[in-house]
Structure 1
């Protein structure tokens, strides 16, 4: 910021979540997410051809690990050019048939779109996205009016001027032509959109375009591994054990954490500062602001310079792409994931946390990233699960697949040349994934309700513990646990070789926390850490008291199959015998959202009341009602009469009503005494 008039907004809260919501009312609430976007996504840079895609889809199903969305990185492209497919590796007709087969199985497909658009290298080169952009004058320029030419994967590239009056039509045309060629996408992945360039300034100006070949990653071998895995001793497999021997290679007192070093502060107004850099520049990690990106003197439609609007590049690309998808897939909610963001980006896109490392430290740091983006009103966020840069190993991938199942955006993504890390590659990882995804899909009505509240009122779906317990200072620095909404507490393992994990249970003894899997009450230390068992393939998840959660009773292989099954209700009573919860339900795809139904669950004094309101007709019945914290009843009744099929487990004070067949479109009362 060099100068100008500054407007200040003060958000009074008083709660942390309300401050975030009030910020959202200024910049705009997050976009509505399609239900399928909460499924598991699989990607890597290095799916070389369509056969790789098909093989992974088949192997995932054979392993019983749910796969919702198959992605492709830049391997998809012909000569790394946007809006193309390689005619040999990804022939259009075969790709179309593959995507349509996915759709028939209620699965989805997402391709990458990079920010750099290739230029034609000679008079015989045909590349319509570039030439149409030239005709419509939509590319960023140099100060002299010539095209600004950076360098990305395809060679010399131009960059879209999102301020251009014609950019929406050109961008929509490129995406629409792509679908006509066979890339029948369900959503779009926007990458490299800071924007990134591999050279400084307009390096292609006056150059011989054909002399710069597309970059190649052929022959790349990755030898980096997570902390506590010694590649030189154990080889490239990344397995937890080899011939029955543990591959854990850290000393007993090792913290196994990679230090993150901060940059030193520069010299501000010293004489040595490059005069080509603007005054008051940030301390850019790459040096001058124009390094690895579009130069500060590049010009846009309307007379703007890149220095004026650089941070808006990703935001405006996201808005343009979202609007384009709305016209290409009318009536359906767009799904976008983008790397670059700016205030109000959440109106148009979700976000992944960028090119992370396959390190335990980065799995831990991903928690902070997810929490931060809730503040920014970009709640659909997650990390590259199992890590992107470097090789992962079995143990790290096992733990990370569990952790990410309890974050909003859930994608496993891998680097070119690294060892494969699809969850079916290791038996223990496949098992951990099945368990975690089953919990995630069961919780989908809860996730969906939280995101509806975010889209309507800006309330963050994922929360730091102190948001809900602001009077407990011991929670202020907790960044190894988080809450989903107000009712689900997640405590992952974040260090190698661990079989237990320490976590704090908020409430200082006034809150009853119950295990998600067993429903047993946790004997928690008041105001301090509690040590929990955490064997491999297990992640600790706990349910808060005074809650009522609508769940999917039978998690399926896809989100569609899961939503087609019956519902369950989990009620966790507090010490006073009360509980409360809500649920928002609609068709999960219509845009703008169509009819919906709001459900309210309220329990007190041995009575559970379910109230229902709205125009959306719920076809699936509520089959199972579980109430925790109940003294042994002698009689259980629904409005329709005495319930015959109920059980009671005294050790966990659990009442289970089976085959309830409750119509959730009306009012219902359950009584126990």
Structure 2
């Protein structure tokens, strides 16, 4: 949710957005004490680290070495950040395809996060711990020489990571380390709106309340903190993941096909490597396993969601609800933004504006028209609220280093406190607050945690002056002492908390146990604020009885996927933002939060009919699909574009497709079992096709479906857009709608505004869909399916499906499908043409995926065989089984289908 105080300024251009928006800041006067000049002066004259001696070596390739700083005669010490002169470099083999390289001070005394829950840590896996079985090998400098470290893939000798030609600097508050990047392309590296293939530039990593498009200029990072990238070796077509396990603010300077440099304001050098193969999914799964995997969402949240900041009372909610029901628009949840709160105070409802009887009617799931209630909880706690007093009594708020009292900032309700989610009482405090919301007679099914970077309407904090009045305190002593600002020209404390604000420091801290008496500050934990809130919210939701949780968090970091889901945050109703939503969702699939989406039709500015229609089409296949709007913009519910009826008709058609696919889509999440991607780039399925890397707006759903959304404007008179789809080399796809065959190459066509999302089935795949009747709520989808069998060149296809009949009961899913439980059957089909070329046989087999597969009753009553080749042309055949359906309820099933063509 955007900084809503910006409503006092007209949205005439992006550059005129209020500074409270937290989006684009006009920097008329900035205290520029944090500039790069001291760093330039230091690095131009600095010495280097020498390999002093090898401390230890193990048979698996692990080693430990001591480094000593050799100063330069002209060295100029950073005044506030002295060089750490003695270091320990270690390389550890964790598995044959997983390893870690670290540089720390000799006592490893600098602030760093533990390698255990809730943080990512190395899992014990079967691995032959001998050097000859490793997929990698290392090289380091000789004793007495300038230190370098190089990691290579053993089979190809590709360099995965190498500091050989680059300096290493390790000071108290500035660290610099580089690696070569020859013959490579990389993806990921932070929460940002940009192309999927990362271009050359300077990229900040710092959790910020912003909606920028990142063009490679420092200070354009947005809400989350994910210092990992997927790298492709272009020459050998091999993939690997590198995680820089450092949570401090940083700037990454990247030059394509040359090098990548990390410039960090604290911590240690700590790299974790996951060595994959020619399939990018391999190394991503290794990374997800390390990052503790991701949680499964409840099935209902897979449906469509409607939201707006600006539904100011329950009458407005009733109007939206009535119209969705009137026009037959499928949806599962109607959201409330901060409007529903009493004076924007967390854990409250303003009953003068929101009639509880109306709310209970809308959110009554026993009524066929009822929908789920999802609502926002902001992190700032109003000083005037009951929750503030409760939090003070429990001592759970972040403290000011200036006053040694509770830090005061400013958000929607005015002056606020901020929970310290390191405090052992914070989880109970958060639970009590969320329990209060559920005590009013309606249940908060989806929990939306926002502003958790932490976002603050003043820079730093508010402190009293000598006259007991208040004023913003703009910079802290700590931030002004930093020799480097990873945000470039933007102040690092801009619209967030003072970096010297301190957190709980006891040995029972939730995020950090201060066993050595160290007091963690915002400098240390800023990029973990949203992570901490996500954990507390997850624990509270479980305590409130939610089995499968749906928690939408704006700020995330490495490992957040185990607790929360995510959306891309605030954006504008433009073609550019719509287009860039696709790589953002792909990134978060890599980061381990695959249930992710963007604000359909855009949050800010007035969405045109054409943009909204195309965005509804695209958003129909987001993993998380929500139309969300800003109070200052024109309404954008699908039915409001009365002069352009194609918005409504297209939305209904494309959402009907979503609901046909809903159980298929959900089964991909269940089958993945918490690791791997769902919403993927085209090249994921075709990594050896160099052309596939150029089509960033086409995407795959699993390895089954390919979408080619229209993301550019079209002819307003003809109401069509000329668009193209690329079919990769040696691939065959079929239209999801009419089964037309598409072979390799680019195919162009006109797509009407009143259309559905161009969608294609990959040959060799079997989809299970539900295409019988229009369904307006996910809970009314039955257990009857159609199989779409898309044959490959060998007349073969395969797929899978769930064996459960009730997706609405979380306990049913957990007890049958999650973790060690299995509810998957594999489906395989082999076709054969008759000798007379007039008959065709399909041998269909359904068998349990694992020996412990659990079964309920699933019914298959229609089969469509696609891609039957007759005289070189594709035909399809539909077989109806209503009178004698195929019952899947245990054991192996074999069915021979023979038909004339």
TM-score > 0.5, shorter chain as reference: yes
Q: Is the 8 A contact 2:305 2:331 kept in 1?
A: yes
Which residue is 2:877 aligned to?
654
User: Of Structure 1 and Structure 2, which has the larger fraction of its residues in strand?
Assistant: 2
Cα 1:602/1:91, change in 2 over 3 Å: same
SS, match of residue 728 in structure 2? coil
SS, match of residue 847 in structure 2? strand
Write out per-residue CA displacement over residues 612-669 of structure 1, whole angstroms, 9 at most, x where no aligned residue: 465644344111111112368xxxxxxxxxxxxxxxxx97332423314211113322
Q: Is the 8 A contact 2:596 2:623 kept in 1?
A: yes
Cα 1:360/1:4, change in 2 over 3 Å: closer
Give, in whole Å, the separation in 1 of the partners of 2:287 and 2:465: 47
Q: Is the 8 A contact 1:567 1:623 kept in 2?
A: yes
Cα 1:453/1:277, change in 2 over 3 Å: farther
Measured after TM superposition, the shift of residue 190 of structure 1 is 0.9
Q: Is the 8 A contact 1:625 1:656 kept in 2?
A: yes
Q: Does 1:487 align with 2:704?
A: yes
Measured after TM superposition, the shift of residue 387 of structure 1 is 0.6
Which residue is 2:735 aligned to?
515
Give, in whole Å, the separation in 1 of the partners of 2:801 and 2:688: 28
Give, in whole Å, the separation in 2 of the partners of 1:78 and 1:466: 49
Which residue is 1:138 aligned to?
396
More moved, 611-620 vs 567-576:
611-620
Which residue is 1:312 aligned to?
528
Which residue is 2:829 aligned to?
603
Q: Does 1:373 align with 2:588?
A: yes
Q: Which segments of 5 or more consecutive residues in structure 2 lack a partner in the other structure?
A: 1-263, 472-476, 506-518, 818-822, 832-841
Which residue is 2:408 aligned to?
149
Which residue is 2:628 aligned to?
413
Q: Does 1:185 align with 2:444?
A: yes
Tell which has more relative contact order, 1 or 2 (C-alpha 8 A, sep 6+).
Answer: 1
Give, in whole Å, the separation in 2 of the partners of 1:590 and 1:283: 43
Which residue is 2:656 aligned to?
438
What are the within-5 Å matches in structure 2 for residues 37-436 of structure 1? 37-92=301-356, 94-100=358-364, 105=369, 107-120=371-384, 127-143=385-401, 144-205=403-464, 276=480, 278-283=482-487, 287-302=490-505, 303-330=519-546, 332-426=547-641, 427-436=645-654
The number of aligned residues is 582
Give, in whole Å, the separation in 2 of the partners of 1:584 and 1:208: 67
Q: Does 1:621 align with 2:859?
A: yes
Give, in whole Å, the separation in 1 of the partners of 2:479 and 2:345: 36
Cα 1:489/1:207, change in 2 over 3 Å: farther
Which residue is 1:255 aligned to?
none
Give, in whole Å, the separation in 2 of the partners of 1:93 and 1:211: 42
SS, match of residue 653 in structure 1? strand
SS, match of residue 323 in structure 2? helix
Measured after TM superposition, the shift of residue 531 of structure 1 is 0.4
Measured after TM superposition, the shift of residue 118 of structure 1 is 0.4
Cα 1:585/1:432, change in 2 over 3 Å: farther
Give, in whole Å, the separation in 2 of the partners of 1:370 and 1:102: 34
What are the within-5 Å matches in structure 2 for residues 12-31 of structure 1? 12-14=275-277, 15-31=279-295
Write out per-residue CA displacement over residues 291-327 of structure 1, whole angstroms, 9 at most, x where no aligned residue: 1011111110011100101000011101110110111
SS, match of residue 364 in structure 2? helix
Give, in whole Å, the separation in 1 of the partners of 2:816 and 2:587: 32
Write out per-residue CA displacement over residues 367-386 of structure 1, whole angstroms, 9 at most, x where no aligned residue: 11111111101111111000
Which residue is 2:272 aligned to?
9
Q: Is the 8 A contact 1:85 1:91 kept in 2?
A: no
Give, in whole Å, the separation in 2 of the partners of 1:553 and 1:83: 41
Give, in whole Å, the separation in 1 of the partners of 2:629 and 2:622: 18
User: Of Structure 1 and Structure 2, which has the larger fraction of its residues in helix?
Assistant: 1
Give, in whole Å, the separation in 1 of the partners of 2:446 and 2:722: 37
SS, match of residue 887 in structure 2? coil
Give, in whole Å, the separation in 2 of the partners of 1:200 and 1:470: 46
Q: Which segments of 5 or more consecutive residues in structure 1 lack a partner in the other structure?
A: 121-126, 213-272, 633-649
Q: Is the 8 A contact 1:200 1:290 kept in 2?
A: yes
Which residue is 1:572 aligned to?
790
Q: Is the 8 A contact 1:553 1:624 kept in 2?
A: no
SS, match of residue 593 in structure 1? helix
Write out per-residue CA displacement over residues 227-249 of structure 1, whole angstroms, 9 at most, x where no aligned residue: xxxxxxxxxxxxxxxxxxxxxxx
What are the within-5 Å matches in structure 2 for residues 636-651 of structure 1? none
Greater Rg by CA: 2
Q: Is the 8 A contact 1:93 1:182 kept in 2?
A: no
Normalising to structure 1: TM-score of the pair?
A: 0.82
CA RMSD of aligned residues (A): 2.4
Which of residues 748, 758, 761 in structure 2 aligns to 1:543? 761
Q: Is the 8 A contact 1:49 1:89 kept in 2?
A: yes
Write out per-residue CA displacement over residues 562-619 of structure 1, whole angstroms, 9 at most, x where no aligned residue: 2x25111111001110001112354434258111421111111431111246564434
SS, match of residue 665 in structure 2? helix
Which residue is 1:254 aligned to?
none
Measured after TM superposition, the shift of residue 104 of structure 1 is 5.8
Cα 1:159/1:47, change in 2 over 3 Å: same
Which residue is 1:238 aligned to?
none
